[in-house]
């Protein structure tokens, strides 16, 4: 998935490592006054990786395997 294909909801589904905006919150400007129009690039990258990980067959299989494994 490309970063340009992300929806606003998907972009906000991960916390921002740059400005520390929480999940669901918009990114903050460096000055701390107001919010940015677009999330930081690193946040978009993290969102893309999270979506790719969730949709990969390996990611789903390992989640099922761990939920079935009991100690």
Question: Encoding tokens for residue 67?
Answer: 């939920």
User: Are residues 21 and 11 in contact, defined by beta-carbon separation less than 8 angstroms?
Assistant: no
Percentage with pLDDT > 90 across the chain: 49
List of residues 6+ apart from 31 with CB closer than 8 A: none
State the pLDDT at residue 56: 73
Q: Which residue in the block uniquely carries the two structure tokens 């761990």?
A: 66
Name the residue ranges covered by the structural domains of the chain.
3-57
Task: Convert the pLDDT of each residue in 19-30 to its tens digit.
Answer: 999 999 999 998
Task: Convert the pLDDT of each residue in 3-23 to its tens digit.
Answer: 678 899 999 999 999 999 999
State the pLDDT at residue 30: 84
Task: Convert the pLDDT of each residue in 38-53 to its tens digit.
Answer: 999 999 999 999 998 8
């Amino acid at each position: 998935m490309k970063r340009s294909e992300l929806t606003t909801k998907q972009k906000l589904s991960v916390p921002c490592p740059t400005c520390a905006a929480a999940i669901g919150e918009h990114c903050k400007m460096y000055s701390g006054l107001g919010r940015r129009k677009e999330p930081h690039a690193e946040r978009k990258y993290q969102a893309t990786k999270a979506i790719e990980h969730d949709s990969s067959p390996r990611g789903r299989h390992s989640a099922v395997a761990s939920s079935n494994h009991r100690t």
